[in-house]
Structure 1
């Protein structure tokens, strides 16, 4: 049996150990490179996943917005349809208004003529005021800057004033021709039933006779009642019974 040189054996072992160490270092280095590459790859995957999740969330949000817009557009379509129907109705109404306006003007003119005739035939109280009102309405009818509705309102207002005269009592002062002499008198109007006067000095009194269309003199016994009526009309005395002559129409 041959003897192995211990030095040679140690050298061989050292060489083998060195070779194994080098191989192990290479394996470790490659493993570290693989791990580092795997980490980079995972980081990219995580980044892509986050990006995909964000895009998915945006996609869902956009879908919700699209659904909302679809509902909103459908509602707008209904509103537009209703507005078109309303516009058609307004256009039809405007056409009718034009027809009515053409018809209402002759009606107002007839109403004014009727009112003028009525005032002329009525007892002659406040003649200047009533005639001025009618003249103002006639002048207004010729103006282009006044709407038909305003003209009609004014005509109805004039009629209402005349209606109110029939249920009120009124006192006013004016001039009256008595026996060819103009005198200042106090008039007492009781609805449309009676129009009386008394001179300011209290010496003469009279009442309007609708049949003869003139004032007729009253006796002195009526003067106190007329003065009482004047005070009632001026709210200087509480309402009370009056004894006055009435010219009843046949």
Structure 2
């Protein structure tokens, strides 16, 4: 009995020790797992932080790129608006030019008759005016008529020549002209000096300075001047030719006589 009991006690003691040891091992496993889990959490957190930092950097880069693109877009928009205004202005200019081109034919239809009327008016004016340089002035009119009928001269050049003729005629009104020519008096051709003072008076004097005449626009004939005007007329002819110093002289004026 005593031997069995001792063995039983020893076995019981061994079973108890093993149970105690087993309980300690079971208690140690959850702590290790907790430590491992904490380590893993930290590792995962570090990885997540890296990802967050990476995404943040990418977001910053994208934000900067967006800002650059937005600025470039505004710049391009401003430039496009500027170009659009230029194009609109150019189109308006093109439209105006096209309108002018379309109106060229109508302009020609109005200008051509006007030029013929201007030449007719110029010829009539010359025929009614004092007959100084009459041949040259009428020849100028004849040349204008020939030019109007010419296809080799542009419309603009024809118009310019007409204006030049008018300008020449206007210049006669402020100039003194002296020239030598022939004058028919009583059926005889006399060699005389002609002199005109603008459109105020037109005179003639024989080369021997013994006879003088004044043109009468109303009768379209030459009236004899008295001998008292011979010296003054000689002086006037020299001044018109630039052969004498400017000086005062007295001559009858047709308009003044008509007014009386």
The interval holding the TM-score normalised by the smaller chain is 0.5 to 0.7
Say if 2:204 and 2:213, in contact at 8 Å, map to a contact too: yes
Return the match for 2:250 from 221, 242, 245: 242
Say if 1:211 and 1:249, in contact at 8 Å, map to a contact too: no
- State the 1:63 CA deviation: 8.6
SS at 1:201's partner residue? coil
CA distance in 2 between counterparts of 1:136 and 1:83 reads 43
Question: What is the TM-score when the length of structure 2 is the normalising length?
Answer: 0.65
SS at 2:103's partner residue? helix
SS at 2:152's partner residue? coil
Say if 1:210 and 1:249, in contact at 8 Å, map to a contact too: no
- State the 1:148 CA deviation: 2.5
Tell whether 2:182 aligns with 1:161.
no
CA distance in 2 between counterparts of 1:171 and 1:156 reads 25
Tell whether 2:212 aligns with 1:205.
yes
Alignment of 1:128-167 (within 5 A): 128-167=135-174
Are the structure 2 counterparts of residues 146 and 64 from structure 1 closer, same or farther at C-alpha, using a change threshold of 3 Å?
farther
- State the 1:146 CA deviation: 2.8
Say if 1:229 and 1:242, in contact at 8 Å, map to a contact too: no
Tell whether 2:90 aligns with 1:86.
no
Tell whether 2:183 aligns with 1:170.
no
Between 1:73-82 and 1:131-140, the stretch displaced more is 73-82
CA distance in 2 between counterparts of 1:79 and 1:218 reads 75
Say if 2:232 and 2:249, in contact at 8 Å, map to a contact too: no
Paired residues in the alignment total 203
Are the structure 2 counterparts of residues 58 and 231 from structure 1 closer, same or farther at C-alpha, using a change threshold of 3 Å?
farther
* Largest Rg, 1 or 2: 2
CA distance in 2 between counterparts of 1:163 and 1:70 reads 61
- State the 1:145 CA deviation: 3.5
CA distance in 2 between counterparts of 1:222 and 1:184 reads 19
SS at 1:189's partner residue? strand
CA distance in 1 between counterparts of 2:76 and 2:219 reads 85
CA distance in 1 between counterparts of 2:252 and 2:237 reads 12
Say if 2:203 and 2:213, in contact at 8 Å, map to a contact too: yes
Partner deviation per Cα, 1:132-184 (whole Å, 9 max, x = no partner): 11112112212233333332232222222222222322212222223333232
Are the structure 2 counterparts of residues 175 and 218 from structure 1 closer, same or farther at C-alpha, using a change threshold of 3 Å?
same
**Match for residue 7 of structure 1?**
none
**Match for residue 115 of structure 2?**
108
**Match for residue 33 of structure 1?**
none
CA distance in 2 between counterparts of 1:71 and 1:232 reads 73
- State the 1:220 CA deviation: 2.1
Return the match for 1:186 from 185, 193, 200: 193
CA distance in 2 between counterparts of 1:68 and 1:145 reads 56
Question: What is the TM-score when the length of structure 1 is the normalising length?
Answer: 0.67
SS at 1:196's partner residue? strand
